[in-house]
Structure 1
Amino acid sequence: MTAQNEPAGITPGWSLHPGALLRQVLEARGIRQSELAERTGLTPKHINQVVKEIIGISGDVALLLERALGIDAEFWIRADADYQAYSSRERAKAALAEYTIWAKAFDLPTLARHGVTSQNDDPVHRVDKILKFFGVASPEAFEQTWQRPRVSFRRSQAFTVLEQNTALWLRLVECSAEQAQVPRLRVSTLRSAARAIRGMTNLTITDGFATARAALAEAGVVLTFVRQVPGTRVCGATWWLGADRPVIGLTERNRKPDIFWFTLLHEIGHIALHPRRTTFLDLEGNSDDAPEQEANSFAEEMLFPGNARDLIARATTRQQLLLLSAKLGMGTAIVAGQHGRLTGRWAVGGSLRGTITDEDVNQLETTCPIKLHDSGGPTAI
């Protein structure tokens, strides 16, 4: 549209009804509403309803105004579209205000740490950002998309689990996994990687994780880490971004390397043994059903082949546990943790279990970046 075909001194504002612009044009030119009705062939009532901002300007009416006033139809069409978009946003903003209590259930420090929201957001803006982050339009859509079919995890019998924060953790893991490029899943290669993990437990938690991440990538599995979100009690999870793209997410839950490594092999077991496109969440105190027991057996077989568990159970001193660790080719934390679980005598090897430190958590999360869109939402799936 050329500048000479816009009314002088009048620019269509996104918050202005097109009737207000038409009123300004008529006043500037000294044209009565009845005269404009005669020029356009529209009824005086129609012109009056536009001027009073009761109705908008359609494409057909915009063409009539172009002929009668010499102002391009595109001007009126754009003005009407801008105002409709503005009005829709204002109505949506009013609706979002009803969701602020829902938004407060999410862990705000986690949202801020990953750039989903900021501490300076007003409550309505925070709701909008959270909905965009999950790719849904309302809390009802969030429940349908994330808390029913996609996050249908078994409720722990021992603990209360915050489901919204569990979905938050899963979405963060998903965003991290989207950045990784891996080939199609090869189960035979995955099983080989699982057997090699026993040796990786001799490394530091960060080096071991990086090594396992590379080995699983060769098998077509994305391994990622996102620190636990308060109230979730999640140790790890397995699900699928596509028919042939499984993802394993881990947390630092319990801060013990032996639990960390066992959880990883547990999740690998789900991929190797169970139907694809099935979500599994490893929640503390919740491992009674058949798939969970099968995944546990898989992890035990990979970590403790042959009579390894019997040898560990018979150890009675810290020095014997250290010697077994060297003979079995696995980290002392794994041997010590298993000894405690088998015998209940945690004092024997308790000092060998080690701890996942805050520095470890920071380094692990740094190796698995989460990239968000400029709008605050994640990369689309």
Structure 2
Amino acid sequence: MNIRIIRNSEEYKKATVYLDELLSSGDDSNDDLIDVMALLISNYEKVHFDIGLPDPVSAIENRMEQQGLTRKDLIPYLGSQSRVSEVMNGKSPLSLSMIKRLHEGLGISYEVLMQDQTRELDERNVNYEDYPIAAMFKKGFFPKVIKSVTEAKERAEELVRDMFEAVKLTPFAIAGAPHLRSAVHTTNKRMDGLALQAWQAKVLHQTLDKKLPKCDLDSIDLPFLREILKLSRLEKGPLLAKEELANNGIHLVFQEHLPKTYLDGAAMWGVDGNPVIGMTIRYDRLDNFWFVLMHELAHVSLHLKNSKEVYFDDLDGEKNSDEDEADDMALKALAEKSEWDKYFALLTTPESVVNLAKKLMVSPAVIAGRFRKESSDYRIYNRLIGSNEVRKMVFP
């Protein structure tokens, strides 16, 4: 028989007969010829007889039949009994984590299981459930179609990747380490870097539908900070600050912190190329709010201009030169040090605090909070620091 590419059904029939003859001959010298004929026949069959891959559910059912498994045996791969029923009845798609478990546990090929997926598997040795999925679910990080913590954990990879990719972050690539003020500190708190990154992603997400003018960083200077701080004397000062910063191209986002982040605020670049300030309102006091805001604005003014880093701030943590510079500018937003030193000695009564606040056109909370901090006397002026006034305003 002439060995050539098979072009039609007649040649295919002849080739299969010839291959059978070669296989039946038992002649080892025909091994190479058998390989060639088998390849030619296989190529023809792929073009003319290929019925495609089985769908994922059919592949699972086939493996169950081969191994004598019941649906109950699928719980380790698919989750709860109800989730097994949903998947096997075609009411719920396979998640990426399910696909990994089915491949590793039952040996079903990724090619079959991934047919309906819109994204590729993350082949790194990472576990998306290491993110604080339960806390993220409770704080509304995920779409409303996700109805439970269990479902969020089952779909952890898709949910985290969707959220991160939308804001151009890479899961498990922790940003901002050189400026992570709480990376090493004296209180022995353990910072959860994944929770920190998840918080960052959520903050950036909240800027995606906000169209702001381009920020002129040169205008974000000490006089600008002082004008923003004057809004503190108004009843809705934090919300007015958010509005005024937006008018100047700066996103101000309020997002509660996640467990083990010990975070007060952060300054970073947004997807739109404008600065973003995130605030957690970890301490629900007006004095803390305004200092944290001034501190983050100082980072925008002093550091973002020449850096793409993220500045995460636990203001109880250890300091470095950038943090010292931000603290110094934040304090100067109220008054130059020489002026403040003169005022400090006069702050002996609540009335003196209120009078100085009127003179400097700021909230009494700003004066009282700074005095308490620098005097290390946190029993004084408790009624002036605006306790329990911020969260109800920014997290209605």
What is the TM-score when the length of structure 1 is the normalising length? 0.67
Instruction: Establish whether residue 301 from structure 1 lines up as the match of residue 332 from structure 2.
Output: yes
Instruction: Establish whether residue 340 from structure 1 lines up as the match of residue 324 from structure 2.
Output: no
Structure 2, gaps ≥5 residues long = 1-8, 21-40, 61-93, 106-123
Which residue does the alignment assign to 2:135?
A: 109
Q: 1:58 to 1:294 in 2, by over 3 A?
A: farther
Of 272, 277, 280 in structure 2, the residue corresponding to residue 248 of structure 1 is 277
Q: SS of 1:224's equivalent? A: strand
Q: Deviations over 1:293-312 (max 9, x none)?
A: 11111111112246135313
| C-alpha contact (below 8 Å) 1:318/1:348 kept by paired residues | no
Instruction: Establish whether residue 179 from structure 1 lines up as the match of residue 209 from structure 2.
Output: yes
| C-alpha contact (below 8 Å) 2:286/2:387 kept by paired residues | yes
Instruction: Establish whether residue 239 from structure 1 lines up as the match of residue 212 from structure 2.
Output: no
Of 320, 323, 326 in structure 1, the residue corresponding to residue 352 of structure 2 is 320
Q: 1:290 to 1:104 in 2, by over 3 A?
A: closer
How far apart are the structure 2 equivalents of 1:148 and 1:295? 20
Q: Aligned-residue CA RMSD in angstroms?
A: 3.9
Q: 1:105 to 1:183 in 2, by over 3 A?
A: closer
Q: 1:96 to 1:129 in 2, by over 3 A?
A: farther
Of 220, 223, 226 in structure 1, the residue corresponding to residue 252 of structure 2 is 223
Instruction: Establish whether residue 268 from structure 1 lines up as the match of residue 297 from structure 2.
Output: yes
**Aligned-residue identity in percent:** 19
| C-alpha contact (below 8 Å) 1:235/1:263 kept by paired residues | yes
In the TM superposition, residue 188 of structure 1 has moved relative to its aligned partner by: 3.9
Which residue does the alignment assign to 1:350?
A: 382
Q: How many residues align?
A: 301
Q: 1:41 to 1:160 in 2, by over 3 A?
A: same
Highest relative contact order (Cα 8 Å, sep 6+), 1 or 2? Answer: 1
| C-alpha contact (below 8 Å) 1:189/1:218 kept by paired residues | no
Which residue does the alignment assign to 1:80?
A: 53
Of 172, 190, 203 in structure 1, the residue corresponding to residue 234 of structure 2 is 203
Structure 1, gaps ≥5 residues long = 1-34, 46-56, 66-72, 367-381
In the TM superposition, residue 272 of structure 1 has moved relative to its aligned partner by: 1.0
Q: Deviations over 1:20-68 (max 9, x none)?
A: xxxxxxxxxxxxxxx99945956879xxxxxxxxxxx999645423xxx
Of 88, 93, 100 in structure 2, the residue corresponding to residue 92 of structure 1 is 100
Q: 1:60 to 1:241 in 2, by over 3 A?
A: farther
Q: 1:226 to 1:174 in 2, by over 3 A?
A: same
In the TM superposition, residue 203 of structure 1 has moved relative to its aligned partner by: 2.3
How far apart are the structure 2 equivalents of 1:151 and 1:96? 38
How far apart are the structure 1 equivalents of 2:104 and 2:241? 43
| C-alpha contact (below 8 Å) 2:175/2:309 kept by paired residues | no
In the TM superposition, residue 174 of structure 1 has moved relative to its aligned partner by: 1.1
| C-alpha contact (below 8 Å) 2:204/2:271 kept by paired residues | no
Of 317, 338, 347 in structure 2, the residue corresponding to residue 286 of structure 1 is 317
| C-alpha contact (below 8 Å) 1:237/1:279 kept by paired residues | yes
Q: 1:107 to 1:317 in 2, by over 3 A?
A: farther
Give the 5 Å matches for 1:48-63: 61-63=45-47
Instruction: Establish whether residue 161 from structure 1 lines up as the match of residue 191 from structure 2.
Output: yes
Whichever residue aligns with residue 330 of structure 2, its letter is: A
Whichever residue aligns with residue 316 of structure 1, its letter is: T
Q: SS of 2:207's equivalent? A: helix
Q: SS of 1:80's equivalent? A: coil
What is the TM-score when the length of structure 2 is the normalising length? 0.64
Q: Deviations over 1:252-273 (max 9, x none)?
A: 1122211111111111111111
| C-alpha contact (below 8 Å) 1:220/1:245 kept by paired residues | yes
